[in-house]
């Protein structure tokens, strides 16, 4: 299993570009919500409708829920939520700009859905949860009502963003005005999505393209409404389902044969004949599958965007097996990326890739098994369980961040990510922590405030019984440099390493006042 760190950005002192395929911290909380609202996966929802930025309205399709909250993260009383990250370029902008109204004097579109919209500086993600698994029709409604005025020349502004459904990029460089042929004109985009774990994700991501219009510098994705409807029969049995029951009753012998094949009593020739090499020893793929207890939930040790990871107990060694989803359009790309990266890159802080198998809808990636799991689990645990590992100061300082990223934007983006990891290690806190009032508290916000007040020492983990104060402040100050808003002002990784190893003083790479800390 490749260990990665993912970060949310919703802090006033920073602005950065986050990869659109990063895993949002909000998902952990959503799974907790799902455990409460649809326990035992008894999902009863098969649709949801959102009047983005509006007060709610009724249409022939259904009732569109109001969506007027201005927080960074919000869970509705129904079965959807949204997350907004990033900051507007203008210093005068704030969260009130998340809700936008149609400009006065604009032509009427005879549909209240298009009179208001939700705007987000960088990444706007809507989640539909507790949904029945199956295929859905997703319809996104747009109307450019911000870059629309001739009086202030804002109509010359160009808004460009990408659209992702279930992690798949469906539209690149999407431009509302270009498609609708002008501002204040409605436009819809239609997609299909497969829900497998009762959760649907719709993400609109601004990658820094388009106009940097001033004023009011309100870039980022904008959307007027969302409708999601099941593309399968709901309620009673459909004629096709009834016919299927009749056919099944007639074909009981065939069903028994299929069951025997699934249990491994017959068939599975490919699994028996195919071999994988794990640390110089050869095993059949069937042996590996059996070692996971046929992908039993009791052997599950993690899950990600593309699949689930299982512990596999072979006779003479234990490995980790990632089973990729056969329905993902990015499975082949994922296999190619991980095999190439981990075959060619060897490092003591990277989990070793051992071998893989891909045939007839079964895609497996096999890695070394980490008994103590990851740094993230050691510090925070997960929504299944808490970590019982206690990391003292010395362990946290000789421990490197165990993560690998495939699509690196720039070298300084890696420096930024490393700075966040340093803050998490020393503070023992997550990058984003959810509070009961449905607002997130961001570690970087806290670090920036404490640094400005000369109280950065207050960030050190209170659970540490002892630690080197001077060393801790050095690490925290180098982390502050790494997360500077401007990439040009961030140090290089070689400079970071030289400070952490004591070869350079932090003042040699940047002027940082540490005396008051």
Angle in degrees, CA 363, 367, 372, rounded to 5: 130
26-230: CATH number:
2.60.120.430
pTM above 0.75, yes or no: no
Asked if 50 and 214 count as a contact pair (C-beta separation under 8 A), the reply is no
Residue 515: what pLDDT? Answer: 44
DSSP conformation letters of 307-342 = EEEEEEE-SS-EEEEEEE-TT-TTHHHHHHHHHHHH
Residue 251: what pLDDT? Answer: 62
Closest to 88 measured CA to CA, from 112, 104, 72: 72
Give the C-alpha distances (Å, rounded to integers) separating 341 from 2, 203, 353: 10, 27, 9
Binding residues: 323
Asked if 144 and 222 count as a contact pair (C-beta separation under 8 A), the reply is yes
The whole-angstrom distance between residue 27's C-alpha and the CA centroid of its chain comes to: 7
CA 115 – CA 108 distance, rounded (Å): 8
Binding residues for ATP: 323
Terminal-to-terminal C-alpha distance of the chain: 39
Asked if 288 and 276 count as a contact pair (C-beta separation under 8 A), the reply is yes
Residue 433: what pLDDT? Answer: 62
Angle in degrees, CA 14, 17, 23, rounded to 5: 105
Residue 47: what pLDDT? Answer: 94
Give the C-alpha distances (Å, rounded to integers) separating 45 from 30, 63, 134, 242, 462: 15, 14, 11, 22, 43
**Segment 213-261, tens digit of pLDDT:** 554 567 889 999 999 999 988 765 555 555 566 665 556 666 665 665 5
375-508: CATH number:
1.10.510.10
Count Cβ atoms within 10 A of the Cβ of residue 105 and give its class: 0-12 exposed, 13-18 middle, 19 or more buried.
exposed
Closest to 49 measured CA to CA, from 40, 59, 36: 59
Domain ranges of the chain: 26-230, 243-269, 274-368, 375-508
274-368: CATH number:
3.30.200.20
**Segment 130-182, tens digit of pLDDT:** 999 999 999 999 999 888 776 666 777 888 999 999 999 999 999 999 999 98
Q: What is the pLDDT along the chain (517 residues), one digit of tens a residue?
A: 333 333 333 323 323 333 333 444 566 777 777 877 887 666 778 999 999 999 999 988 889 999 999 888 899 988 999 999 887 766 666 667 778 877 655 665 668 899 999 999 889 999 999 999 999 999 999 999 888 776 666 777 888 999 999 999 999 999 999 999 989 899 999 999 999 888 999 999 998 888 765 545 678 899 999 999 999 887 655 555 555 666 655 566 666 656 655 555 545 777 888 898 888 889 999 999 999 999 998 898 877 656 788 999 998 899 999 888 765 555 555 556 555 555 555 545 456 778 888 887 788 888 888 765 555 555 555 444 455 555 555 444 473 332 333 334 456 667 887 888 888 888 888 776 655 555 556 788 888 889 888 899 899 988 888 888 888 898 999 999 988 877 788 888 888 888 888 888 888 776 444 444 4
What is the three-class DSSP state of 202? strand
Residue 128: what pLDDT? Answer: 93
Residue 463: what pLDDT? Answer: 85
Closest to 41 measured CA to CA, from 130, 136, 128, 166: 130
Task: State how beta strands 63-67 and 73-75 pair.
Answer: unpaired
DSSP conformation letters of 1-65 = -----------TT---PPPTTSPPTHHHHHHHHHHHHSGGG---B-EEEEEETS--EE-SS-EEE
């Amino acid at each position: 299993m490749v260990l990665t760190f993912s970060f949310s950005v919703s802090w006033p002192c920073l602005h950065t570009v986050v990869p659109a395929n990063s895993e949002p911290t909000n998902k952990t909380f959503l799974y907790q919500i799902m455990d409460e609202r649809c326990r035992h996966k008894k999902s009863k929802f098969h649709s949801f409708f959102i009047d983005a930025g509006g007060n709610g309205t009724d249409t022939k399709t259904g009732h569109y829920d109001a969506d007027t909250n201005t927080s960074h993260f919000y869970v509705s009383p129904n079965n959807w939520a949204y997350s907004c990250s990033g900051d507007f370029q203008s210093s005068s902008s704030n969260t009130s700009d998340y809700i936008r109204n149609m400009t006065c004097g604009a032509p009427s579109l005879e549909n209240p859905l298009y009179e208001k919209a939700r705007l987000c500086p960088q990444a706007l993600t809507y989640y539909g949860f507790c949904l029945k698994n199956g295929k859905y029709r997703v319809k996104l409604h747009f109307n450019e009502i911000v870059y629309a005025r001739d009086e202030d020349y804002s109509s010359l502004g160009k808004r460009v963003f990408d659209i992702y459904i279930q992690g798949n990029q469906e539209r690149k460089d999407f431009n509302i005005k270009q498609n609708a042929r002008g501002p204040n004109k409605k436009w819809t985009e239609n997609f299909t999505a497969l829900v497998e774990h009762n959760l649907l994700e719709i993400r609109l991501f601004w990658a820094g393209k388009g106009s940097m219009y001033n004023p009011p510098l309100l870039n980022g994705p904008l959307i007027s409404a969302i409708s999601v409807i099941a593309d399968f029969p709901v309620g009673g049995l459909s004629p096709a389902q009834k016919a299927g029951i009749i056919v099944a009753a007639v074909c009981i012998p065939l069903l028994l044969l299929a069951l025997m094949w699934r249990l491994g009593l017959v068939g599975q020739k490919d699994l028996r004949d195919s071999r994988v090499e794990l640390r110089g020893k050869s095993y059949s793929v069937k042996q590996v599958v059996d070692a996971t207890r046929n992908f039993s939930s009791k052997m599950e040790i993690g899950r990600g965007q593309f699949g689930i990871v299982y512990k596999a107990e072979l006779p003479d060694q234990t490995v980790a097996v990632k089973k990729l989803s056969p329905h993902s359009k990015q499975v082949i790309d994922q296999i190619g990326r991980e095999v190439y990266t981990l075959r060619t890159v060897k490092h003591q802080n990277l989990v070793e890739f051992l071998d893989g198998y891909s045939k007839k809808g079964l895609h497996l990636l096999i890695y070394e098994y980490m008994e103590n799991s990851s740094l993230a689990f050691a510090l925070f645990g997960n929504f299944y369980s808490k970590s019982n590992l206690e990391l003292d100061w010395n362990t946290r300082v000789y421990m490197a961040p165990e993560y690998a990223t495939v699509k690196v934007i720039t070298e300084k983006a890696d420096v930024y990510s490393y700075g966040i990891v340093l803050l998490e290690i020393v503070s023992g806190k997550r990058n984003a922590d959810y509070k009961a009032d449905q607002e997130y508290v961001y570690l970087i916000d806290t670090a920036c405030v404490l640094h400005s007040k000369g109280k950065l020492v207050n960030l050190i983990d209170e659970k540490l019984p002892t630690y080197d104060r001077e060393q801790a402040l050095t690490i925290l100050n180098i982390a502050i440099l790494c997360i500077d808003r401007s990439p040009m002002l961030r140090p290089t990784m070689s400079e970071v390493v030289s400070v952490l190893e004591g070869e350079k003083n932090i003042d040699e790479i940047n002027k940082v006042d540490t005396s008051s800390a």
